[in-house]
Amino acid sequence: MTVAVDDDLWSAIGDPTRRKLLDLLLAGTAGTATSLSDELPVTRQAVAKHLGVLDRVGLVHATPAGREKRYRVDQDQLGRAVAQLNAVGDTWDARLQRIKRIAESIQETND
Amino acid sequence: MTVAVDDDLWSAIGDPTRRKLLDLLLAGTAGTATSLSDELPVTRQAVAKHLGVLDRVGLVHATPAGREKRYRVDQDQLGRAVAQLNAVGDTWDARLQRIKRIAESIQETND
DNA sequence: GACGATGTGCAACCATCGGTTGCTATCGCC
DNA sequence: GGCGATAGCAACCGATGGTTGCACATCGTC
């Protein structure tokens, strides 16, 4: 059985640049597209696009402040994303363990 | 600080179809491109491409058997992938907790 | 109040990637 | 040998991550 996963949410955090963005936002760095692009090896426009998709899946929210637009992470939604990561990780881990146990039992019968 | 993540490995498991493939392989379904494509809503060629990238990052290995090519998961490598999922999940979780604690302490000072 | 600096938004363009279709080649078996 | 099943290759398409270039808004300052 496959783990129930929100593909939109997963693919949002699947991109390495977006993961880095979330890292930066969690670290408290000022959340404008320009300031974030300073910390990343991509242009401001690329960052703006990424913030757009993060916004669409609800992982971040923007609050206009004068001429700039501040982004902050949505803690609940990021919590859900983390839960999915853990769910998939746990499922695979369990299956790997089971396979390992089976392999060992076969080993024993061959002794 | 950003979690050390192997981007190739992560992006390999980032694709929903590839995750499904790994699920199927872990479930013991026969591992040929054609048999796997029967279980998925995509063509054999798409599956073959995915198996190719999974192979390149070492998550699966192919063993030619007559006219067909059987794929099986590499347990060690998948284990590493799971570890990365957990690492990112744990890091984000920790930061979310910390933010929550800070928010609560501010709440208290305002009482 | 006008002007330059800074920040955002939009559009065109390019490369890569997931997916498809179509064809060829190889292997197994009757 | 010939037929069916499997794999492999190539061309093509749409979406996406990335870039550059330009227009628009806002802030500070003279």
User: Which domain CATH number covers B37?
Assistant: 1.10.10.10
Q: Parallel, antiparallel, or unpaired: how do β-strands B68-73 and A60-65 relate?
A: unpaired
Task: Determine the distance from the C-alpha atom of residue A74 to the mean position of all C-alpha atoms in its chain, rounded to a whole number.
Answer: 12
Helix, strand, coil distribution of chain A in percent, nearest 5: 65, 10, 25
pLDDT, tens only, A21-64 = 999 999 976 689 999 999 999 999 999 999 999 999 999 999 99
Residue A2 inside a domain? The answer is no
Tokens of A48: 């703006």
Question: Residue B53 is part of which domain span?
Answer: 7-110
Q: What is the per-residue pLDDT across B10-42, written as a single tens digit (0 to 9) for each?
A: 999 999 999 999 999 998 766 899 999 999 999
Given B2, B16, B79, which is nearest A20 (Cβ)? B2
- Domain presence at residue A94: yes
Strand (E) or helix (H) holding A8 = helix A7-14
A89/B88 CB distance under 8 A: no
pLDDT confidence of B47, banded at 50, 70, 90?
A: very high
**Protein residues with Cβ atoms closer than 7 angstroms to any atom of nucleic acid strand D:** A 11, 15, 17, 41-43, 45-46, 49-50, 53, 66-67; B 32-34, 44-45, 48, 67-69
Asked whether residue A86 is domain-assigned, the answer is yes
Q: Read off the pTM.
A: 0.86
For residue A54, give both structure tokens: 């993060």
C-alpha B60/C-alpha B54 separation (Å) is 6
B18 lies in some domain: yes
- Reply yes or no on whether the pLDDT at B3 is more than 70: no
* C-alpha distance from B23 to closest chain A C-alpha (Å): 6
In a domain, A77, yes or no: yes
Instruction: Tell whether B89 is within 8 A of chain A (Cβ).
Output: yes
Residue B1 lies inside a defined structural domain of this protein: no
Residue A37 located in a structural domain:
yes
- For chain B, the domain total comes to 1
Alpha-carbon distance B26 to nearest alpha carbon in chain A (angstroms):
7
Q: Establish if A94 touches chain B: CB-CB under 8 angstroms.
A: no
Between the CA of A20 and the C1' of D7, what is the distance in angstroms?
A: 39
Return d(Cα A103, Cα B3) in angstroms, integer.
Answer: 33
Question: Residue B61, SS3?
Answer: strand
Are B49 and B40 in contact, with CB atoms under 8 Å apart? no
Q: Which residues of B66-75 are buried (b: 16+ CB within 10 A; e: fewer)?
A: eeeeebebbb
C-alpha–C-alpha distance, residues A37 and A47, integer Å: 6
- Distance (Å) from the alpha carbon of B14 to chain A's nearest alpha carbon: 5
Residue B2 lies in a domain: no
Dist CA A21 CA A15 (whole Å): 10
